[in-house]
Amino acid sequence: MLELAESQIRAGADVLDVNVGFPGVDDIILLPETVLAIRGSFDVPLCLDSPNPKAIEAALKVAGGKCLINSVNGEEKSLIALLCIAKEYEAAIIGLTMDGDGITHDPEKRLAIAEKILSRAVKEGIKEEDVIIDPLAMAVSTDSKACIVTLETIRLVHQKLGLNITMGASNISFGLPGREDLNSSFISLAIANGLTCPIANPEKITAAVRATDLALGRDDFAVRFVEYFQSKI
């Protein structure tokens, strides 16, 4: 785990997503133990990734500094369980655009869920800038419109809410050949629409991110683009 963390940081990861989920694992014990091990070796922000609110809270108690919680959704049970924890520990939180009815294929409805999560978070005392929205990237192999729906959700959240946006960047290519090529193409489209902080392997996606930023005029004189490729020599 520490070797993987080091390689991710070396490749340019700004935050490490820490997930210990595996059948038979007691994440209430293992997640904080893992956080302590990472903290003992690296100075890097952490995203605590677990569906178990008790594991999240246990990890927050030992993490120190500001963490990101992955994640809450629009279902009332989820909002009640996690927003108060995020407030207590001054953590930022990822909001998934799904609720008790599951995952909608309507970008406007996904936006409405994002608005609900933001409203409830602010009411709980969490700052707007500490709410990050996940528009949900789904496998395009099972739904040819999946990427279009996600891109439109990103655009709507970016334009109407102005929040940071994350997603599992490789989800769209599940079950397909040429996954890295498809992921790189999609990440570029997503960034152009407003994606700011994807969950991805930096060893595989940083080149596409740097190239997209350069093409969009966000990298004066190609400084970051050149620095990245020089670092690989």
Same domain, 56 and 122: no
Same domain, 185 and 211: no
Same domain, 80 and 193: yes
Taking the C-alpha atoms of residue 9 and residue 207, their distance in angstroms, rounded to an integer, is 15
Q: What is the mean pLDDT of residues 209-228?
A: 96
H or E stretch at 189: helix 179-193
Taking Cα atoms as reference points, which of 4, 22, 25, 21 lies closest to residue 13?
A: 4
- Domain span including residue 230: 201-233
Residue 71, in any domain of the structure: no
Tokens of residue 78, six digits: 């989820």
**49-79 pLDDT, tens per residue?**
999 999 999 999 999 999 999 999 999 999 9
Residue 70, in any domain of the structure: no
CATH number at residue 193: 3.20.20.20
Overall domain count for the chain:
3
**149-171 pLDDT, tens per residue?**
999 999 999 999 999 999 998 99
Same domain, 9 and 37: yes
- pTM (predicted TM-score): 0.95
